[in-house]
Amino acid sequence: MGCGASGPACPGGGTSCVSIGAGTSAAEIENRFATLTDGSTVVFGEGTFAMNDTIIIAANNVTVIGAGMGKTIFDFSGQKGGDGEGFFAQSVQNLTLQGFTVKDTLGNAVKVLGSTGVRFDHLETMWTGADSASHGGYGLYPVLSKNVVIEHCIASGASDSGIYLGQSEQATIHDNEVHDNVAGIECENTWFTDVHDNYAHDNTGGILIFALPGLQQMATHDIRVFSNRIENNNTSNFAAQGNTVGLVPRGTGFLVMAATNVEFFGNTLSGNETGNSAIISYYATQQPISDQTYNPLPDYVSIHDNTFTGGGDTPDLTKKFGLLLASAQSSFPGSVVPSLMWDGIEDPQTAANICYANNGSAGYVDLHLDQVDPNNPNLPAVMSVEPPPAGSCTPLAPITFPGSDQ
């Protein structure tokens, strides 16, 4: 119904369909989205659509379908004004974006705020500018949202995170490829999320699970990260300083900061040159904490049944944390940073409750950062590389929610 002869055919489903063929002007596309009604399906044909402003979706139950990644391309390099985003939706229900590429936005590529039922499927976000510091911050960026699925997507080139799930809950991020971003996948102040079967390579850091102070939704908890490949995340950090990810050393595989109830299992990590995995408190950033409601300490983190190969041999000397590790490198067994790192800062009353099991021959270090004098750091004097007692890690429950039909 309502499909023009020149545009692609509409698939079944949806109460109305808008079909947009190659050659449709940016102004006409803006017009179509501005007048979109609830329940609409928007189908784009193959081709490149040069946009000069953000495409905003304000209706509920909308599906936008392209002819596939690399086939339907939204090119935002001529962005003239607006907020600099590619696609944006706010306070909508049940939004599906599927089968297209979003390229060279000034800001974030695809942002969805305050929405419930968000699905990104076979979406690609990328920046092609030679100056990577000029790239937009986030590729796929749901925030303050619920029931989110990000699957079969490719995100590259983001100057912050390729896939960034912020202040959200009930999400699955699976079967995506993230590369050449500062952070491959980052979950921040997020609850009840599964991150699995993703391939994170050639970022500055592969997968980051963070809790940060000062936000609307506080804490990060109940996150399962499993069956991912996290390889060679050795790209120099090109984030603007000041951002938390700007502190991440090149060569970081998996990093947990200040999160609670995190289970990391069945992953393959290799060749992350600063270190394959670390669990740290926010104190490790040496940033001031003004938010009294914030808990800077991680706890209940279990790391089990992972495979570690190589890595830890060339810490990033441009970042404080990398420098600190490099200063102790000759004291580590085999002169490589162990694959299992903990900063050793915990609440003495409650303990950190970190569990390690069945991680092959991966080395371990407790950095005891709480005992390091920041003005005269001498890591070898305080750290401990004795393996932690083998524990049996309690699994977390799988995440399920309406629409999580993986």
Partner 1 sequence: MNARWAIFVVLFVHTGCTTKNACRPGGDGTYTTALYDKLSSYCMVNIEAGDVVPESGVTPYDQTTPLFSDYATKRRTIWMPPGTPATYTADGPFDFPVGTIATKSFGWNGKWLETRVLVKKENGWTGASYVWNDDQSEATIQPGGGFFTTPESDAYLVPNKNECIKCHESTGTIVPIGLRADRINHDFAYATGTENQLAHWSRMGILTGAPVPESSPALADFSDTSLSTEARARAYLAANCSYCHSSTGEARNTGLLLGMEVTDPYRLGTCKTPVATGKAASNLSYDVVPGNPDASIMVYRMQATTPSIMMPELGRSVVHSEGVAVVRDWIAEMPGSCQ
Q: Which spans of this chain sit near partner 1 (rule: CB under 8 A)?
A: 27-28, 30-35, 52-54, 56-58, 79-85, 88, 90-91, 105-108, 113-114, 133-138, 141, 143-144, 159-160, 164, 166-167, 212-216, 239-244, 246, 287-288, 290-291
Whether the CB-CB separation of 97 and 110 falls below 8 Å is answered with yes
Question: Residue 37 or 335: which CB sits closer to partner 1?
Answer: 37
Helix H or strand E segment including 199: strand 199-201
Of the pair 103, 304, the CB lying nearest partner 1 is at: 103
Which residue, 240 or 381, has its beta carbon nearer to partner 1?
240
Longest dimension (CA), the chain: 74
Q: Is residue 222 within 8 Å of residue 263, measured between CB atoms?
A: no
Helix (H) or strand (E) holding 100: strand 93-103
Nearest-approach distance from CB 106 to partner 1, in angstroms: 4
Least separation in angstroms between residue 295's CB and partner 1 is 16
Question: Contact 181/155 with Cβ under 8 angstroms?
Answer: yes
Shortest Cβ 193–partner 1 spacing (Å): 16
Length of the chain: 406
Of 33 and 100, which has the nearer Cβ to partner 1?
33
**Least spacing, CB of residue 94 vs partner 1, in Å:** 14
Q: How far apart are CA 145 and CA 392, in angstroms?
A: 34
Can you tell me the distance from the alpha carbon of 150 to that of 24, in angstroms, rounded to the nearest whole number? 28
Nearer to partner 1 (CB atom), residue 86 or residue 338 = 86
Please identify, using beta-carbon distances, which residue of 330 and 375 lies nearer to partner 1. Answer: 375
Secondary structure (3-state) at 299: strand
Rounded Cα distance between 102 and 84, Å, is 13
Q: Are strands 40-44 and 340-342 parallel, antiparallel or unpaired?
A: unpaired
Distance CA 191, CA 285 (A): 22
Cα 306 from Cα 48, distance rounded (Å): 42
What number of H helices and E strands is found in the chain?
Answer: 3, 31
Task: Pick the closer one to partner 1 by CB: 255 or 328.
Answer: 255
The least distance separating partner 1 from the CB of residue 103, rounded to whole angstroms, comes to: 15
Shortest distance in whole angstroms from residue 183 CB to partner 1: 11
Cβ distance to partner 1 smaller for residue 276 or 295: 295
Q: Which is nearer to partner 1, 158 or 362 (CB)?
A: 158
**Nearest approach, Cβ of 105 to partner 1 (angstroms)?**
8
Q: Which residue has the tokens 């692609």?
A: 8
Q: How far is the CB of 272 from partner 1 (least distance, A)?
A: 23
Q: How far is the CB of 216 from partner 1 (least distance, A)?
A: 5
CA 283 to chain CA centroid, Å, is: 21
Burial of residue 228 (CB within 10 Å: 0-12, 13-18, 19+) is buried
Position 112: which residue type?
Answer: V
